[in-house]
Amino acid sequence: MAEATAHQVSVLRGQAQPSWANLRHQPDTTTYPIHQAGPRNLWDEIETAYHWWREHGSPGADQWRITITPEGQHVTLTAPAPTQPAP
């Protein structure tokens, strides 16, 4: 993460739903206030995805395949790991 100042805020917004999350960067700390609202808890989803990625060896971008069909979207890791339906 880039070096933070007291005035930096990262904001995430859902496109299909009015969900949002923000993280306020504060210097000299390793914990940051998180605020989120809406039908989906976006920050919780990011944390879950990050932990899953780490547990599976932190695969690079070249190891992923995205499939979009009329039935839905799927993300597949080409290394041995399960296919995960996209949210």
Q: For 35-58, write each residue's pLDDT tens digit.
A: 999 999 999 999 999 999 999 889
Q: Which of 38, 46, 44 is nearest to 16 (CA)?
A: 38
22 forms bridges with which residues in the sheet? 11, 35
pLDDT of residue 48: 94
pLDDT of residue 82: 55
Instruction: Specify the DSSP element, H or E, that contains 37.
Output: strand 34-37
Mean pLDDT of 7-29: 83
CA distance 37 to 57: 31
pLDDT at 1 over 50: no
CA distance 12 to 18: 11
Confidence bin at 29 (pLDDT 50/70/90): confident
CA distance 5 to 36: 21
- The pTM score is 0.65
